[in-house]
Amino acid sequence: MARASRPISRRQTWWLLASAIAAAAPLAQQVPLWLALAGASAFGWRALLTWQHWRLPPRWLQVLLVIAGTVGVFLQYRTILGRTPGIALLLVFLALKLLELRAARDAVVTALLCYFLVLGQFLFTQTIPTAMLAGLTVLITTAALLAASDDRPHPRQQLRRAALLLAQALPFMLLLFVLFPRVQGPLWGIPQDRFSAVSGLSDSMSPGSIAQLSQSDAIAFRVQFKGEVPPQSQLYWRGPVMPAFDGRSWRVAQTMGAYPEVPYAGAGTPVEYEVTLEPHGKHWLFALEMPASLPPESALTSDYQPVARQPVRNRTRYTQRAWPEALAGIDETPGSLRAALSLPKDGNPRTRAVGAAWRAEHGEDGAAILAAAQNLFNRQLLIYTLNPPLLGADMVDEFLFDSKRGFCEHFAAAFVFALRSAGVPARVVAGYQGGEINPVDGYLEVRQYDAHAWTEAWIAGRGWVRIDPTAISAPSRINNNLAAAVPANEGLPLLARSDMAWLKELRYRLDAVTNGWNQWVLGYNPQRQRDLLASLGLKEPDWRSMTAILSVLCGVIMLGLAGWILRNRLHVDPVLAAWRKFTARLARRGMVWQPWEGPLDFAERAAAADPAHGEGIREIAALYAGLRYGPAPQAADLIRFKNRIAAFRP
């Protein structure tokens, strides 16, 4: 109890302040600006109090600040429960705890708060930089905790001691990570009070929406093929299907699944692959056309859009099979065909007239009308661009016959409108097209700038047929990538540029490291654990065998650490060993040296208790202080120190 109430020193305060700043700084962007500024002010206030040797604020003021901080958090979030309000409240408590930092007990509480806030960082982001920053914060906090019991070592030595402690704990951490039974989903998958904004396709498409998305180089998903990678022109990643059109925007008609299994027959050689999908907050999953299988907890909508039962708010990994030549929708329902023919009552008269002419010429021959539409797009010499002009009310007419400049959504929307005008059911499909193989790890990386829109037309006897009108005017977009299709003077995302080889090489390596982290650390789920243990010879481990293995391996590590500690004890500093021998003699006379007590202070206290031997005690303590904390000791000084202790006989 006396040790817990011992006052803390200035050096201990600086250590704890550094630990608190390291723990709070990464979370500042997750809380309101007023709270971040208030926390910074509290840290600065505590630093000023320590620097100037001023007294801490009175207890009544501290209580008022706690109440004000708690009320402020409640008014900001309308609750003090949940992820972000809880972290905000802990930041308030940490900042105010520093203002009542008086005893060793307070130092321990502060360090524990810092440890908890390190864990809180992973509730918002789990990237490699976050893990590195968290590791640095743990190192500083551990050093602060060591300084709370003994602040005499130099800061560099204190950090070295903390690093040694963490290194000793690292084998246990790795064992628990690999062998401890995993739960489905991340440990930080708690109910979130608000979801972070995520980039990706929307459930609607209007002119310019996908063109804006093409400015982002963020990863949408990664794919690992189990066999040969299909050609670039076949990499159509099916996403939201949009049959509804209001004259300006195309929209998803349904979001939940109608088919628990694939309802169409397969054709062609199946392609097997695994997708690692980044969170996007929607229900849909992306699959290579056409899906031949469905992941667990998913289904197909009536327009063959793969959807998950729950919104994708965490990184998700699933295996898939695809039929490149599947015949889907041959027996399509009349309701779906009517929805795929619906048009607004008026607007775009020129395109409607062209469609009516096709209908008059070819009748109900959908294949002939489809060929006529492709021929029209080919004759118009349309230009594929990231910067299309603004369009008015008759946007299809203006695109096809006036500006003739657009992005994929312009091509797909105009093509569907023309087909519907001719009586051919058609709809817009949004998703991603293409991707880029990372030569470092072999994964296909699909980024947001690979977002694309194409067309599906229903042809009797063939079902839904994919037609990509963008490929008619800009085939290089489909066969190569975005950079090969747009004019050279148009702005591209940095990672989409093909004229910076060194940047691409660096990007490949960083992406491979990030993917490895996602797959084997963040994505180390029960299936991954079973696969890893099976590769180590544990085919079907149960909890008994896992517990036994974990206990044995932890015991081996503890024996190794014990042997290492015993070996190091044989190499104790001779100066420290002689001093301990000296203090042991005084302890038998009731003068006990405390580890936190300096040698000269202890000598004065011991000399006051035993005046007859005071000079001898002071002399030995002075020799020890010089040898321990002064320049490198000489052999003669060490011999003199040992002889003086040997001659000391109280």
Q: Six-digit token pair at 25?
A: 């700084």
- What is the pairing mode between strands 298-300 and 244-245? unpaired
CA distances (Å), origin 141, targets 29, 122, 324, 626: 21, 17, 56, 30
Q: What is the mean pLDDT of residues 580-609?
A: 86
Q: Which residue has the higher pLDDT, 282 or 212?
A: 282
Contact assessment for residue 82 and residue 123, using Cβ atoms and an 8 Å cutoff: no
pTM for the model: 0.71
Q: Six-digit token pair at 206?
A: 């209007």
- What is the pairing mode between strands 383-384 and 405-406? parallel
Q: Six-digit token pair at 497?
A: 């540029």
Reported confidence tier of residue 1, pLDDT bands at 50, 70, 90: very low
CA distances (Å), origin 40, targets 47, 133, 157, 598: 11, 19, 28, 34
What DSSP letter does each residue of 530-599 carry, written as one string?
HHHHHHTT-SS--HHHHHHHHHHHHHHHHHHHHHHHHHHHTT--HHHHHHHHHHHHHHTTT-PPPTTS-H
pLDDT in tens, 522-537: 778 777 787 788 877 7
Contact assessment for residue 253 and residue 202, using Cβ atoms and an 8 Å cutoff: no
pLDDT in tens, 304-360: 888 998 888 888 889 999 988 888 888 888 888 999 999 998 899 999 999 999 999
Identify the pLDDT of residue 455: 96
Q: Which residue has the higher pLDDT, 557 or 48?
A: 48
Q: Which residue has the higher pLDDT, 494 or 642?
A: 642
Identify the pLDDT of residue 85: 92
Q: What is the mean pLDDT of residues 544-556?
A: 83
Identify the pLDDT of residue 241: 92
Side by side, the strands of the sheet bearing 444-447 are 316-322, 271-277, 219-225, 444-447, 436-437
Residues annotated as part of the active site? 408, 452, 468
Location of structure tokens 């300096």: 598
Q: Which residue has the higher pLDDT, 286 or 495?
A: 286
Identify the DSSP state of 25: G
Phi and psi of 294, rounded to 5°? Answer: -125, 140
Q: Which helix (H) or strand (E) element contains residue 308?
A: strand 306-308
pLDDT in tens, 256-301: 667 888 888 777 789 999 999 998 888 889 999 989 988 888 888 8
33, with CB counted inside 10 A (0-12, 13-18, 19+), is exposed
pLDDT in tens, 411-438: 999 999 999 999 999 999 999 999 999 9
Nearest C-alpha neighbor of 429 from the set 409, 448, 406, 403: 409
**SS3 at position 4:** coil
**SS3 at position 42:** helix
**447, amino acid identity:** R
Identify the pLDDT of residue 195: 43
Identify the pLDDT of residue 139: 96
Average pLDDT of the chain is: 86
48, with CB counted inside 10 A (0-12, 13-18, 19+), is exposed
Q: Which of 54-68, 82-96, 628-642 has the lowest mean pLDDT?
A: 628-642
CA distances (Å), origin 419, targets 136, 354, 396, 425, 438: 61, 10, 12, 7, 39
Identify the pLDDT of residue 193: 45
Q: Six-digit token pair at 362?
A: 């070819």
Nearest C-alpha neighbor of 319 from the set 331, 306, 329, 328: 306
Residue 16 has pLDDT above 70, yes or no: yes
- Count other C-beta atoms under 10 Å from residue 288's C-beta: 24
Phi and psi of 590, rounded to 5°? Answer: 90, 5
Q: Which of 187-201, 428-442, 490-504 has the lowest mean pLDDT?
A: 187-201
Identify the pLDDT of residue 491: 59
- Most confidently modeled range among 63-72, 387-396, 552-561: 63-72
Identify the DSSP state of 239: E
Contact assessment for residue 210 and residue 249, using Cβ atoms and an 8 Å cutoff: no
Length of the chain: 650
What DSSP letter does each residue of 387-406 carry, written as one string?
SPPP--SSHHHIIIIII-EE
Residue 497 has pLDDT above 70, yes or no: no
